[in-house]
Amino acid sequence: MVETKTFESTSPATGEVLGTLTEADEGAVDRAVETAAAAFEEWRLVPAPRRGEILFRFAHVLEREKDALTDLMTREMGKVKAEAGGDVQEAIDMSYYMAGEGRRLWGQTTPSELQNKFNMSVRAPVGVVGAITPWNFPIAIPSWKLAPALVCGNTVVLKPAEDTPLLAQRFVELLTEAGLPEGVVQIVHGYGQTTGAALVRDRRVPVITFTGSRETGIAVTKSAADNLKHVHLELGGKNAIIVMDDADLDLAVEGIVWSAFGTSGQRCTAASRVIAHADVYDALAKRLVERAESMRLGPGWEDDTDIGPVINKAAIEKIHSYTQIGTGEGAKLLTGGEIASDGDLAKGFYYRPTVFADVEAGMRIAQEEIFGPTTALIRVGDFDEAIRVANGIKYGLSSSIFTRDVNRAFRAMRDLQAGITYINAGTTGAEVHLPFGGTKDTGNGHREAGQAALDVFTEWKSIYVDYSGKLQRAQIDNQEPGA
């Protein structure tokens, strides 16, 4: 008899055990895929507007459950209340948006080169989608993947992060409550090396959508290649905020604080670099340090908390290792750079907001994703240097510039090598009706959100209807001599 393995979900704020989950072995993944594959044959035939109506009801259910999900997120993931509520709101917005796609799912019509013939293209579902989601947006990101997959007529096997399984479980329960038919979404809990790997290998899963680290994304791609799976990757970022000499510094500081320290820096869009013009560098650094040192660390459910815990022990150890790397490289630590261990903070994984100055663009802390509340100040002499430094990394997710010069703003929009660019705002805050994703090592060219997300979960089918009553041959020289 095979022993069933379990794992615990614990609060990063206190270490409290919140629940115990069964780890899905290869057999459990096999059964989940089999169930989803069987459900696909019925679900794909449900009219897309009806599928959209289920997502519309799901959005209503999420609205009803928003406070409860917010509270659970502050405990299981660690976000502060406002951010946790925003995470849930993204799922609400995405569900409403994709519900509307049930009445569009636009294809194309084109004229034919032949008489009495009609041409069109339509979207067709692919089959079973394997969705592997991270812990940092435990309600929003599942919605980014599942809502478009479902409205397109696919079924889904969801493998959520092992750090936030209770939130994922509740997400699926609420989908069922909204009227999703049995079997359409299956959830398997466990670790990436076992449960996730089994899902990626399964031949019956033609699409894998994954959000996580660059290294894991490469491993997923290699594993999926043997079966020519469609692979959608959302990976890392090393995002920069440029602050020019004509910027509104108060506004820039607000944008930097929110982007660098929000979610304790645990966002792929976090601003872990600040590229500042030499004329404002010192003033900006002073204001940023003052703001960082005024921020209160604590559990996310307390109203006066500014920064919650990071997700686990491995995360805090990685973040602290980069502080040591930065000082070793010669960067100047202005504030933070330490694990908070006073009082009740010692029960959780809290890291003080960290600001480095005198950072050179080639330093590791300016090149590698830290995924914590750390940002690096880089001094530049002019706009062109700022753009070069911003682009001088292997990632290309989000970018930002603070300037009052409209010409600089438009040049930045053109020249910044990133999937997202903000003008006079931070690097976070994407809206669900525009594509989300990046260039270079941030992914593999696909996008989430907006209509672009539909391309991940559909195949194009071209259809030709000939009503001439005779065989007409396209691309054959049928022209009469001299015509």
**DSSP code per residue over 141-191:** HHHHHHHHHHHTT-EEEEE--TTSHHHHHHHHHHHHHTTPPTTSEEE--S-
Q: Give the separation between CA 126 and CA 118, rounded to whole angstroms.
A: 25
- The tally of domains found in the chain comes to 2
Summarised one tens digit per residue, pLDDT across range 382-422 is 999 999 999 999 999 999 999 999 999 999 999 999 999 99
Average confidence (pLDDT) over 46-59: 98
Summarised one tens digit per residue, pLDDT across range 172-208 is 999 999 999 999 999 999 999 999 999 999 999 999 9
155 shares a domain with 107: yes
Average confidence (pLDDT) over 354-364: 98
Q: Is-contact 92 63, C-beta < 8 A? A: yes
Q: Is residue 80 part of a domain?
A: yes
59 shares a domain with 10: yes
179 shares a domain with 97: yes
Give pLDDT, residue 6.
96
Give pLDDT, residue 102.
98
**Over the Cα atoms of the chain, what is R_g?**
24
Burial 138-175 (b: 16+ CB within 10 A, else e): bbbbbbbbbbbbbbbbbbbbbbbbbbbbbbbbbbbebb
Q: Which residue has the tokens 């979207």?
A: 123
Give pLDDT, residue 428.
96
- Could you tell me which residues are beta bridge partners of residue 186? 157
Q: Give the separation between CA 172 and CA 84, rounded to whole angstroms.
A: 18
Average confidence (pLDDT) over 268-279: 98
**Please, what sign has the CA dihedral across residues 409, 410, 416, 420?**
positive
Average confidence (pLDDT) over 138-151: 98
Q: Give the separation between CA 101 and CA 49, rounded to whole angstroms.
A: 8
167 shares a domain with 35: yes
Residues 185, 186, 188: CA angle, nearest 5 degrees: 145
Q: Is 268 known to be catalytic?
A: yes
Q: Is-contact 167 153, C-beta < 8 A? A: no
Q: Which residue has the tokens 């979610």?
A: 263
pLDDT at 475 over 50: yes
CATH code where residue 198 lies: 3.40.605.10
Number of H helices, E strands in the chain: 13, 21
180 shares a domain with 126: yes
Amino acid (1-letter code) at residue 192: G
pLDDT at 211 over 90: yes
106 vs 477: which has the higher pLDDT:
106
With residue 243 as reference, give the H or E element that holds it: strand 239-243
Q: Give the separation between CA 140 and CA 142, rounded to whole angstroms.
A: 6
164 shares a domain with 29: yes
Where does 77-113 have alpha helices with state H? Answer: 81-101
Range of the domain at 199: 6-235+443-464
Q: Is residue 482 part of a domain?
A: no
Q: Is residue 157 part of a domain?
A: yes
Of 268, 293, 317, 369, which one is the catalytic site residue? 268
Q: Is 113 known to be catalytic?
A: no
Q: Is-contact 170 246, C-beta < 8 A? A: no
- Could you tell me which residues are beta bridge partners of residue 313? none
pLDDT at 2 over 90: no
61 shares a domain with 156: yes
198 shares a domain with 259: no
Q: Is-contact 48 381, C-beta < 8 A? A: no
Q: Is residue 209 part of a domain?
A: yes
Q: Which positions ≥6 away from 88 have C-beta within 8 Å?
A: 62, 66, 69, 70, 73, 139, 140
* Residue-averaged pLDDT of the chain: 96
Give pLDDT, residue 483.
44
247 shares a domain with 223: no
Q: Is residue 141 part of a domain?
A: yes
Is residue 347 classed exposed, middle or buried when 0-12, 13-18 and 19+ CB atoms within 10 A define those classes? Answer: middle
266 shares a domain with 205: no
Q: Is residue 137 part of a domain?
A: yes
101 shares a domain with 31: yes
Q: Other C-beta atoms within 10 Å of 405: how many? A: 15
Q: Give the separation between CA 219 and CA 208, rounded to whole angstroms.
A: 12
Strands (E), 370-448: 374-380, 395-396, 398-402, 420-423, 439-440
Average confidence (pLDDT) over 214-222: 97
Of 234, 360, 368, 431, which one is the catalytic site residue? 234
Q: Is residue 339 part of a domain?
A: yes
Phi then psi for residue 372, to 5 deg, are -155, 180
Q: Other C-beta atoms within 10 Å of 439: how many? A: 16
Q: Which SS3 state, helix, strand or coil, does residue 245 take?
A: coil
